[in-house]
Chain A
Amino acid sequence: DTGVSQDPRHKITKRGQNVTFRCDPISEHNRLYWYRQTLGQGPEFLTYFQNEAQLEKSRLLSDRFSAERPKGSFSTLEIQRTEQGDSAMYLCASSLGGVLYGYTFGSGTRLTVV
């Protein structure tokens, strides 16, 4: 197991298009998180799953954003009708619970909306 994998690494899209990102967590991890990071800021929480259940969503997550984790394994984050303000690094992380042990982050997907 090589850690948390995210695909694609980079995505350039035109404003108004839909994009979908994929995250494959560490296999035995039951929790999966999505964060967004913009330049000069720390990661901002978007949503998290425990197994296939989406337990919490940030108010940052507008109706244009949706995340799924079918069967409690990989997860997808979809952004519909992209806007320039959606340009950011989208980070996925996973954990086995136990916040003190930290979460393992992937390398992220950098989205550029032109």
Chain B
Amino acid sequence: DQQVKQNSPSLSVQEGRISILNCDYTNSMFDYFLWYKKYPAEGPTFLISISSIKDKNEDGRFTVFLNKSAKHLSLHIVPSQPGDSAVYFCAASAYNHHAGGTSYGKLTFGQGTILTVHP
């Protein structure tokens, strides 16, 4: 059951243009959404997050948009740079009940999108 889906395995963009990475989810209990970037031979690096009470969050060149009714989020990178070439993962978190109580402990990740920015 893939609760978080990134339907585009890859995206190719020219340097200086906008990169738009998309993510869809099915679990309406997700409250927080995050984007991670991953270079080969490294662990994922946190980029930006958004709470479900917002529809937009911006940090420098990165903006995340959330459409709760469509269960869709996107990451915009403007302007794109060759150093942005990496695998991008979206992730989501729901409030979980577990033995220790309740918390937002676990992240559910999408399959990733390979972004290539050409000079």
Question: Could you tell me which A residues sit within 8 Å of B by CB distance?
Answer: 4, 31, 33, 40-45, 48, 50, 53, 55-56, 58, 91, 93, 99-108
Cα distance, A108 to B109, chains bound together (Å): 16
Beyond the given pairs A100-B51, A101-B46, A102-B49, 18 more chain A to chain B contacts, judged by CB atoms under 8 angstroms and listed by A's residue number, are A33-B107, A40-B111, A40-B112, A41-B112, A45-B106, A45-B108, A48-B106, A50-B103, A55-B99, A55-B101, A55-B103, A56-B99, A56-B100, A56-B106, A58-B106, A93-B43, A99-B93, A107-B41
CB distance from A5 to the nearest CB of B (A): 11
Question: Could you tell me which B residues sit within 8 Å of A by CB distance?
Answer: 4, 6, 32, 34, 36, 41-47, 49, 51, 89, 91, 93, 96, 98-101, 103-112
Write out the residue numbers on chain A whose beta carbons fall within 8 Å of the beta carbon of B111: 40-42
Residue from A44, A56, A58 with most neighbouring chain B CB atoms (10 Å)? A56
* Closest A-B pairs by Cβ, 6 of them: A102-B46, A42-B109, A105-B43, A55-B100, A99-B104, A56-B98
Q: B34–A107 contact, CB under 8 A?
A: no
Cα distance, A102 to B50, chains bound together (Å): 11
Q: Which residue of B lies closest to A89 (CB)?
A: B43
18 residue pairs A–B, Cβ–Cβ below 8 Å: A4-B43, A33-B106, A33-B107, A42-B89, A43-B44, A43-B107, A43-B109, A44-B109, A48-B105, A50-B103, A55-B100, A56-B98, A91-B43, A99-B93, A99-B104, A102-B46, A105-B44, A107-B41
Q: A107–B108 contact, CB under 8 A?
A: no
Q: B89–A99 contact, CB under 8 A?
A: no
CB distance from B43 to the nearest CB of A (A): 3
